[in-house]
């Protein structure tokens, strides 16, 4: 078996892994990025990039590239007989969003990592780890070229929602915390250039049963919209929902409004652990990032932004540490410091939504008030940064601080 060597090995070249590799290479670290898939590859996703993601992509120097795709100015919320157009809030984040199909987006990010100095291999699946003195000494891969091993000083695990490599290292997903079941498809639409993303807060299945979740239309500006739906669930209240039929029902309902001109293309669905509902996020020389660490916002299901952020944060930690230093406690602390309070309150609120009847009762009240919905957009998007000092930001931070005190299991623990 042949052996390669690197300082930083990043497994998984989604947004999290490619961002980690790009930053690690920029910071001067010897970096190898390996993915099981061959790029370009698809990934089941809404393709939506909210201001939080735009901020991170701007840091990577991708604003101009993004602006050559679609640009949106906010969310059009539909539900309970109302339609409200809510601009992205003013604050520490940009005031625009975008949407790029993941086949193109992820390929572009991976190419960026390579142009920043990382070496990339695709089509090779991580299948095993070799541990020596408690540290990951090497990871074994299988690909068309056969089995090979990569010896590394530090390992970044960015292998997505199922995190097979994370599991080998002891990562556990806690399903008693709220999670999502979601699906997406592509549909041709005469409103593919709509400057708003749309969400339908009343989501009904084929039998007209109301579900705790929402449907979305994210215009892609290329003749297509990304049409999807997601429902929230917990181990106590599992989502009894067939996502693909749900997307068909949803598409039929909004077909005329959104001038959909074709059938659903490439429908696909996935489970989504959220809100840091995993333990075992790090060890002496390894760290989980992105979906592998359940870095997904429980209130809107977005995780590209957190993938990009955790990619940068882990690279900064590695660059600041000696290659033989123990980084496990530091990485868990960084995840908790950045996201613990916000994820705690967000998953508490998302769990409330799974209580039957609550959304249909409170939804109409919320949708009657532009003020309340503007606040909801900001909080649901976690568009609150340490630099924000306004009342809405303070309330959100206070709620987060109170929420973690009530947690039986804190995020990332």
Ligand X SMILES: Cc1cc2nc3c(=O)[nH]c(=O)nc-3n(C[C@H](O)[C@H](O)[C@H](O)COP(=O)(O)OP(=O)(O)OC[C@H]3O[C@@H](n4cnc5c(N)ncnc54)[C@H](O)[C@@H]3O)c2cc1C
- Identity of the residue, 172 or 369, whose beta carbon is nearer to ligand X in the bound complex: 172
- Identity of the residue, 128 or 390, whose beta carbon is nearer to ligand X in the bound complex: 128
Binding of ligand X by 183 (CB under 6 A): yes
Nearest-angstrom CA–CA distance, 181 and 274: 11
CA contacts within 13 A on the Cβ side of 322: 3
| The only residue of 307, 366, 381, 400 in contact with ligand X, by rule CB under 6 A | 307
How distant is the alpha carbon of residue 282 from its chain centre?
19
Nearest-angstrom CA–CA distance, 264 and 276: 32
**Residues 280, 293 contacting (CB under 8 angstroms):** no
Q: What letters, b where the CB count within 10 A reaches 16 and e where it falls short, cover 128-159?
A: ebeeeeebbbbbbbebeeeebbbebbbbbbbb
Query: CB under 6 A: which stretch of 87-95, 298-306, 315-323, 396-404 binds ligand X?
Result: 298-306
Binding of ligand X by 14 (CB under 6 A): yes
Binding of ligand X by 74 (CB under 6 A): no
| The only residue of 56, 149, 159, 388 in contact with ligand X, by rule CB under 6 A | 159
Binding residue count for ligand X, defined by CB under 6 A: 42
The interface mask with ligand X, positions 218-237, x = CB under 6 A, is: ----------x---------
For residue 11, the minimal CB distance to ligand X (Å) is 5
Nearest to 409 by CA among 338, 350, 336, 355: 336
Nearest-angstrom CA–CA distance, 359 and 364: 8
Q: Where are the beta strands (DSSP E) in 160-313?
A: 172-173, 179-188, 197-200, 203-204, 210-211, 213-219, 224-233, 265-273, 278-279, 282-283, 286-288
Nearest-angstrom CA–CA distance, 54 and 339: 18
Nearest-angstrom CA–CA distance, 219 and 278: 32
| The only residue of 77, 304, 359, 367 in contact with ligand X, by rule CB under 6 A | 304
Nearest to 88 by CA among 380, 394, 391: 380
Instruction: Round to the nearest angstrom and report the end-to-end CA distance of the chain.
Output: 37
| The only residue of 303, 340, 366, 400 in contact with ligand X, by rule CB under 6 A | 303
For residue 86, the minimal CB distance to ligand X (Å) is 17
Please spell the DSSP secondary structure of 281-336, one letter per residue: -EETTEEE-GGGGT---TTT---HHHHHHHHHHHHHHHHHS-TTS--HHHHHHHHI
CA contacts within 13 A on the Cβ side of 399: 17
For residue 353, the minimal CB distance to ligand X (Å) is 17
Binding of ligand X by 16 (CB under 6 A): yes
- Identity of the residue, 44 or 95, whose beta carbon is nearer to ligand X in the bound complex: 44
| The only residue of 6, 8, 10, 15 in contact with ligand X, by rule CB under 6 A | 15
| The only residue of 74, 89, 160, 275 in contact with ligand X, by rule CB under 6 A | 160
Binding of ligand X by 212 (CB under 6 A): no
Q: Looking at beta carbons, which residue is closest to ligand X?
A: 303
- Identity of the residue, 194 or 302, whose beta carbon is nearer to ligand X in the bound complex: 302
Query: Which pair of structure tokens corresponds to residue 275?
Result: 């809100």
Give 163's contacts (C-beta < 8 A, 6+ positions apart). 157, 171, 288, 291, 292
| The only residue of 51, 219, 301, 340 in contact with ligand X, by rule CB under 6 A | 301
Query: CB under 6 A: which stretch of 2-10, 44-52, 61-69, 198-206 binds ligand X?
Result: 44-52
- Identity of the residue, 131 or 325, whose beta carbon is nearer to ligand X in the bound complex: 131
| The only residue of 11, 224, 335, 376 in contact with ligand X, by rule CB under 6 A | 11
- Identity of the residue, 119 or 325, whose beta carbon is nearer to ligand X in the bound complex: 119
For residue 115, the minimal CB distance to ligand X (Å) is 19
| The only residue of 40, 164, 328, 360 in contact with ligand X, by rule CB under 6 A | 164
| The only residue of 4, 7, 44, 223 in contact with ligand X, by rule CB under 6 A | 44
Question: Cβ atoms within 10 A of the Cβ of 289, count?
Answer: 34
- Identity of the residue, 79 or 381, whose beta carbon is nearer to ligand X in the bound complex: 381
Nearest to 160 by CA among 317, 35, 336: 35
Residues of this chain that bind ligand X (CB under 6 A): 11-17, 34-37, 43-48, 53, 125-126, 158-161, 164-165, 182-184, 228, 270, 272, 290-292, 296, 301-305, 307
């Amino acid at each position: 078996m042949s052996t390669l060597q690197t300082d930083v090995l990043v497994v998984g070249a989604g947004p999290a892994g490619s961002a980690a590799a790009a930053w690690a290479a920029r910071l001067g670290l010897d970096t190898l990025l390996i993915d099981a898939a061959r790029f370009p590859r698809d990934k089941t996703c809404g393709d939506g990039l909210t201001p939080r993601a735009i901020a991170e992509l701007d840091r990577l120097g991708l604003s101009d590239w993004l602006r050559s795709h679609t640009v949106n100015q906010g969310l059009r919320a539909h539900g309970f007989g109302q339609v409200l157009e809510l601009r992205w809030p003013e604050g520490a984040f940009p005031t625009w969003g975008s949407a790029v199909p993941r086949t193109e987006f992820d390929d572009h990010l991976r190419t960026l990592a390579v142009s920043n100095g990382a070496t990339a291999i695709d089509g090779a699946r991580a299948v095993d780890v070799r541990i020596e003195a408690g540290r990951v000494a090497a990871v074994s891969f299988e690909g068309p070229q056969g089995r090979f091993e990569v010896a590394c000083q530090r390992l970044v695990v960015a292998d997505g929602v199922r995190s097979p490599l994370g599991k080998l290292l002891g990562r556990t997903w806690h399903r008693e915390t709220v999670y999502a079941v979601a699906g997406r498809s592509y549909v041709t639409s005469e409103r593919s250039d709509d400057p708003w993303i749309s969400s339908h807060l009343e989501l009904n299945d084929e039998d007209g049963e109301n579900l705790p979740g929402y449907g979305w239309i994210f215009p892609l500006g290329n003749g297509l919209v990304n049409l999807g739906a997601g429902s929230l669930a917990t181990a106590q209240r599992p989502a009894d929902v067939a996502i693909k039929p749900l997307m068909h029902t949803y598409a039929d309902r909004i077909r005329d409004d959104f001038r959909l001109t074709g059938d659903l293309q490439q429908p696909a669905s996935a489970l989504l652990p959220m809100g840091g509902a995993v333990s075992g996020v790090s060890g002496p020389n390894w760290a989980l990032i992105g979906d592998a660490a359940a870095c997904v916002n429980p209130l809107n299901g977005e995780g590209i932004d957190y993938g990009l952020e955790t990619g940068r944060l882990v690279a900064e930690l590695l660059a600041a540490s000696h290659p033989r230093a123990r980084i496990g406690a530091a990485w868990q602390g960084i995840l908790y410091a950045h996201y613990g309070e916000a994820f705690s309150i967000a998953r508490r609120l998302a769990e409330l939504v799974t209580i039957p009847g609550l959304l249909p009762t409170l939804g109409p009240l919320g949708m009657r008030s532009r003020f309340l919905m503007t606040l909801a957009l900001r909080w649901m998007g976690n568009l609150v940064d340490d630099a924000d000092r306004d009342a809405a930001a303070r309330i959100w931070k206070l709620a987060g601080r109170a929420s973690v005190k009530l947690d039986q299991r804190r995020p990332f623990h």
